Amino acid sequence: MAGLTAAPKVLPGLPFAQGLQEAAGAGFLLYCTAALAMLSVKFWFLLRNAGGRP
pTM: 0.61
**Count of domains forming the chain:** 1
Q: Is there a domain that residue 3 lies in?
A: no
- Assess contact for 24 and 30: CB atoms under 8 A: no
Q: 9-28 pLDDT, tens per residue?
A: 556 777 888 888 999 999 99
Which domain range does residue 31 map to?
17-54
- pLDDT reported for residue 12: 72
Q: Is there a domain that residue 12 lies in?
A: no
Q: Is there a domain that residue 8 lies in?
A: no
The full 3-state SS of 18-47, as one line of letters, equals HHHHHHHHHHHHHHHHHHHHHHHHHHHHHH
Q: Which amino acid is at 14?
A: L
